[in-house]
């Protein structure tokens, strides 16, 4: 079984002195850095997948193909061989505050710490801060926080899939999951069509009177109002943004409460005009917290939409993995429930016929619960990886060049803790009659 590395992000960042020498090597000595890869003995197995813990002293935050981006105490690192070696690194004092990163097909790395966004285009030889732009091209500036230690999760994403091929060109688009820890933040959808060199606002949600900046981790009813004062659509944060190539349309879902003024759980549909570099968004459904529309893990496969319910609040709960034609999103009678784990979950990825989702730990009888199907929902299994402690898996990244999904493990349901890797096994073949 996997050794119980009870190292949280903050604990391991202070415990790297013994291991950093083997990880943070200049390019001329990178051959000896192979020790950074976890030995085979640390790989454990279920009937449906293999899994392994994060490398000792290193948090792998994102991956794309054979590349991986990671950080340790005061440094960021880049691998080109699926994390076996880490030949590129740069000093980055705010490394422990990284809550979002994305490696693009070009090799550019976009990452955030606190309320700042950074871009490297040269394998971390250099990086620069990026100022987000409003739709009119003016600078979008972050607010002055009541508490500098809680500036807001402006760029944190709950989903690990943030890039898509749109008309033969890679597009980056994501929404911030915020107003829980890290300070109050306005809720936005961001996008880039040039490899992260220019990041712009695709949609700004309205000012939420329940998540003002009062200096606390999640905001409250007093303090600075944040968001678009002219937009009546309000939410606490964004669960997911996804792209449907069959429609050439984007979908976003939000949370997280039922307020006297209305629901915060919305599904939005967005259309992007590349010629005009402009967006049109429409709220297609709003519903209560105990409905299937409070959800995440939106995936589009062969023209159909799949998602997993994060339903909570007052009973009865409307939970499960659902799918339908996108035209029927607003019609629950046309939805197919593929599986019901009977717990809330807002995280799911689908790739190569594999569906991988997770339990929200505070609501689950499992410590670290995973939901898996190897045959697009025909059969299902659930596993409790207890050795990781009570954790909520999220930020599922697409498989790397060796077939491993990358997954965050969060304490409670969102506080950063550890990460891990999962590699699905081949689906069992049907027996001949």
Calculate mean pLDDT across residues 245-252.
98
- Of all residues in the chain, the percent with pLDDT exceeding 90 is 89
pLDDT at residue 42, as a whole number = 86
pLDDT at residue 126, as a whole number = 98
* Cα(72)–Cα(86) distance, integer angstroms: 12
Q: What is the mean pLDDT of the chain?
A: 91
- The answer on pLDDT for 23 being more than 70 is no
pLDDT at residue 427, as a whole number = 77
Q: What is the pLDDT of residues 225-244, one digit of tens each?
A: 999 999 999 999 999 999 99
- The answer on pLDDT for 168 being more than 70 is yes
- The answer on pLDDT for 21 being more than 50 is no
pLDDT at residue 362, as a whole number = 95
Q: What is the pLDDT of residues 402-431, one digit of tens each?
A: 999 999 999 999 999 999 999 999 977 654
Closest CA to 345 of 292, 418, 275, 421: 292
Q: What is the pLDDT of residues 84-128, one digit of tens each?
A: 999 999 999 999 999 999 999 999 999 999 999 999 999 999 999
Q: What is the pLDDT of residues 177-201, one digit of tens each?
A: 999 999 999 999 999 999 999 999 9
pTM over 0.85: yes
Q: What is the pLDDT of residues 292-307, one digit of tens each?
A: 999 999 999 999 999 9
């Amino acid at each position: 079984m996997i050794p119980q590395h009870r190292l949280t992000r903050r604990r391991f960042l202070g415990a790297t002195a013994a291991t950093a020498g083997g990880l943070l090597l200049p390019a001329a000595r990178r051959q000896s850095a192979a020790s950074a890869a976890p030995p085979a003995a640390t790989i454990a197995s279920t009937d449906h997948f293999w899994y392994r813990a994060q490398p000792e002293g290193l948090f792998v935050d994102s991956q794309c193909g054979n590349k991986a981006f990671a950080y340790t105490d005061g440094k960021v690192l880049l691998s080109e061989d699926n994390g076996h070696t880490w030949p590129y690194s740069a000093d980055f004092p705010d490394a422990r505050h990284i809550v979002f990163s994305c490696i693009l097909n070009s090799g550019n790395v976009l990452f955030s710490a606190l309320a700042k966004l950074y871009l490297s285009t040269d394998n971390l030889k250099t990086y620069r801060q990026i100022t987000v732009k409003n739709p009119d091209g003016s600078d979008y500036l972050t607010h002055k926080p009541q508490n500098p230690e809680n500036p807001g999760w402006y760029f944190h994403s709950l989903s690990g899939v943030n890039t898509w091929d749109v008309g033969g060109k890679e597009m980056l688009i994501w929404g911030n999951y915020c107003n829980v820890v890290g300070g109050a933040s306005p809720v936005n959808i961001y996008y880039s069509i040039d490899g992260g060199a220019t990041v712009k606002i695709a949609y700004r949600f309205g000012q939420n009177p329940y998540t003002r900046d009062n200096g606390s981790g999640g905001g409250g009813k007093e303090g600075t109002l944040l968001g678009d004062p002219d937009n009546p659509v309000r939410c606490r944060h964004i669960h997911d943004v996804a792209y449907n190539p069959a429609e050439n349309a984007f979908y976003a879902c939000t949370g997280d409460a039922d307020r006297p003024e209305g629901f915060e759980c919305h599904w939005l549909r967005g259309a992007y005009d590349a010629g005009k570099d402009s967006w049109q968004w429409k709220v297609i459904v709003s519903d209560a917290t105990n409905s299937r529309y409070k959800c995440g893990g939106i995936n589009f496969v062969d023209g159909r939409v799949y998602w997993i319910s994060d339903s909570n609040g007052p009973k009865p709960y409307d939970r499960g993995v659902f799918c339908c034609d996108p035209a029927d999103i607003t019609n629950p009678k046309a939805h197919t429930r593929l599986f019901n784990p009977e717990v809330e979950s807002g995280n799911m990825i689908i790739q190569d016929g594999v569906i991988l989702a997770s339990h929200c730990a505070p609501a689950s009888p499992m410590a670290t619960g995973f939901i898996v199907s190897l045959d697009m929902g025909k059969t299902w299994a659930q596993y409790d990886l207890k050795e990781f402690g009570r954790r909520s898996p999220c930020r599922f990244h697409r498989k790397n060049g060796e077939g491993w999904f990358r997954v965050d493990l969060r304490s409670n349901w969102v506080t950063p803790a550890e990460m891990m890797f999962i590699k699905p096994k081949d689906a069992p073949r049907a027996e001949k009659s």
